[in-house]
Amino acid sequence: MSNSLLQTPIEYLKGVGPQRGELLRKELGIHRYEDLVNFYPNRYIDRTRYYKINELQKNDSEVQIIGKIIHIKTVEFGKAKKRLVATFVDETGEIELTWFQGHKWIRDSLKLNVPYVIFGKVASFGNTFNMAHPEMELLAEHEQSLRSAMQPVYPSTETLTNRGISNRVVNKMMQQLFVETQAKFIETLPAYLLDELKLIPKNAALFNIHFPKSQELLSKAQFRLKFEELFFIQLQLITKNLVRKHKIKGHPFTVVGENFNNFFQNHLPFELTNAQKKVLKEIRNDMGTNAQMNRLLQGDVGSGKTIVALMAMLIALDNGFQSCLMAPTEILANQHFNGLTELAKGLNINIKILTGSTKTADRKIIHEELENGSLHILIGTHALLEDKVQFHNLGLAIIDEQHRFGVEQRSKLWQKNDIPPHILVMTATPIPRTLAMSLYGDLDISVIDELPPGRKPIQTVHRYDSNRLKVWKFIKDEIAKGRQIYIVYPLIQESETMDYKDLMDGYESISRDFPLPQYSISIVHGKMKPADKDAEMKRFAEGKTNIMVATTVIEVGVNIPNASVMIIESAERFGLSQLHQLRGRVGRGAEQSYCILMTSFKLSSDSKVRLETMCQTNDGFEIAEVDLKLRGPGDIMGKQQSGVLQLQIADLVKDRDILMVARNEALKLLKKDPSMTLPEHQTLRTVFIELSKKKNIWNYIS
């Protein structure tokens, strides 16, 4: 909407003024007319019905009543607290209205014995009904106002309510805005799209989102505005991807040479799955052109991403380039280092690791070899981003579990070269398609969706604490077969002491039930020195202990094929993705593995859904979808990404279908008219450029 009237500062709207304007800016981010038009209600109340006082029920519902105030008094309660109480009557009975704030202002504005329409939530105390902070309107005004059967309720804050900016006030402002602009808003979408998708025009949509005449018109307005919001986001992401492919040059890796072929023919530890082959082909195609690769590789725990990463690095090496792999923690970096060194042991390549704990002497060698090009692959943590780390020619950067790195950190890797390296982002946290299309819509996505051959699906069961004896017997049977067991306790930051106590109590009772010399137990927790942790992990990995009692430190990347049972204590305290990650620690060998979720009897409905989901499926993507429904998009992406989806009306979980339509339409349009210059796309282009200037969603996207 480039309508100049919409750029008017909000305080100029009749009924707003400087003080209210300041509040609207501070509390709701409403600076101009345009922001107010796009400030959508978050729910609606059906105001077609008027209740009589004798029809009220004890059900906390919101109702409207016509009647009059016959009496007002101030009542003191507690220490120096007052409330204002009015008696409101109709021909069938009476109800009390109460106000806890703004007494003077409210008392002065109330009229006795005049018909009002009141609206609010009814509570009951004994036999009297009560309504706190009701919305009030004189019946005469109520009958005249631009009002719809469906009453919009706008998001609000405590400060606004306390300063007298009630829902009714916002509603009045909105009415005033529509009067001043004559409800004329510029159409932002091309006519052929409106026809094809049967979308109502922008004017009608905005009017009906604020003043719906019926449920049906409200649904049409919501669909139109949700589609538009998601459509512009997709245009933005897809354009970004196309621009990158055309403008950002990459190194063309045209050779698939000796290192790759030697590894593929002579050193593959097992036959690649079809999914791995498909992903490798996509990566080879990307790196073979002279555009920069930007690919997200998703694969569940244990699906074999590491081997794909190594083969991509070997292609870089065959073309005379170095590679690096960056992981969020030292444990993971070490694991990648050990895994890759093991895989590449028959090849003549130089692989080193750089983390915070690398000794100065070793660092010196790494820096020298990096700069003269004799170091082929460098694995590391954030330490790779330091300015001292200079490559001879970095051709491929692989980032593991990238949502743990901020955007600025990633761009530092780019700046290590004149031509940016190809980028491969790997994650074992399955991201639901909906989120992937929004958060990583500018990356190409590959998925490894089958496990390597010979892996049996893990059997997951839920048991209550009262079944513990049976569970212990099962563990003893498994140990007798030569298997190893994990027992994990939750870690809740707020109370390290409590966690530590839970873990130690657990450890003691397990030691009693599994006594030496027949059994031996390792323990790992956050309070131990890193060297002690590693020593305990090592004992377990070498099979010297049967049981590993731990907090969630083992969540990421410990690979012990002989461990076949994972017991998760107080499983109701874990999130779904965490449970799934923990379960992925077993099932690494050829034997049948088990995951047992132990809980108390007291479970919230969310916990029940989480436990049932775990028992029903091993599919990380299915689990991620359920997790998204339970937690919403913000939490899943972790803190630095959580600002991403401040959408005004659409919801990535509920509006998944609209998102798919929006993405397809955006792809079709950009295929036909990549620069949006056709006459029918004129307005679209203007809106698009305006949106690109706004600091909202774009600055968070990778």
Mean pLDDT computed over every residue of the chain: 86
- Tokens 């006795």 belong to residue: 112
Q: Which residues contact 522 (CB under 8 A, 6 or more apart)?
A: 536, 537, 539, 540, 545, 547, 548, 549, 550
Q: Is the pLDDT of residue 60 over 60?
A: yes
pLDDT category at 641 given cuts 50, 70, 90 is very low
Q: Is the pLDDT of residue 219 over 70?
A: yes
- The gap between the terminal CA atoms of the chain, to the nearest Å, is 28
Give the 3-state secondary structure of residue 624: helix
The pLDDT of residue 55 is 87
Residues 40, 342: Cα–Cα separation, whole Å: 57
- Tokens 């995951």 belong to residue: 595
- Tokens 């309107």 belong to residue: 137
Could you please state the CATH topology (level 3) that the domain comprising 258-448 is classified under: Rossmann fold (3.40.50)
The pLDDT of residue 619 is 85
Q: Which of 459, 460, 467, 461 is nearest to 601 (CA)?
A: 467
Give, as one character, the DSSP assignment of residue 79: T
Residues 554, 510: Cα–Cα separation, whole Å: 19
Q: Is the pLDDT of residue 1 over 50?
A: no
pTM exceeds cut of 0.75: no
- What mean pLDDT do residues 75-81 have? 82
Q: Please give the residue that has the higher pLDDT: either 466 or 303.
A: 466
The pLDDT of residue 428 is 78
The pLDDT of residue 403 is 59
Which range has the worst mean pLDDT, 94-98, 250-254, 369-373? 250-254
Percentage of residues of the chain with pLDDT beyond 70: 90
The pLDDT of residue 161 is 85
Q: Contact at 8 Å (CB) between 51 and 65?
A: yes
Q: Please give the residue that has the higher pLDDT: either 13 or 574.
A: 13
Q: Which is it for strands 377-380 and 128-132: parallel, antiparallel or unpaired? A: unpaired
Residues 28, 35: Cα–Cα separation, whole Å: 9
Q: Contact at 8 Å (CB) between 98 and 83?
A: yes
Task: Return the CATH number of 48-146, one of 3.40.50.720, 2.40.50.140, 3.50.50.60, 2.60.40.10.
Answer: 2.40.50.140
From the CA atom positions of the chain, what is the Rg in Å?
A: 31
The sign of the torsion formed by the CA atoms of 259, 260, 261, 265 equals positive
The pLDDT of residue 643 is 37
Q: Is the pLDDT of residue 271 over 50?
A: yes
Highest mean pLDDT among 69-73, 333-337, 494-498, 540-544: 69-73
State the span(s) of the chain assigned CATH 2.40.50.140. Answer: 48-146
The pLDDT of residue 177 is 95
State the span(s) of the chain assigned CATH 3.40.50.300. Answer: 258-448, 459-617
The sign of the torsion formed by the CA atoms of 524, 525, 527, 531 equals positive
pLDDT category at 624 given cuts 50, 70, 90 is confident
Q: Please give the residue that has the higher pLDDT: either 142 or 394.
A: 394
- The architecture of the domain spanning 459-617 is 3-Layer(aba) Sandwich (3.40)
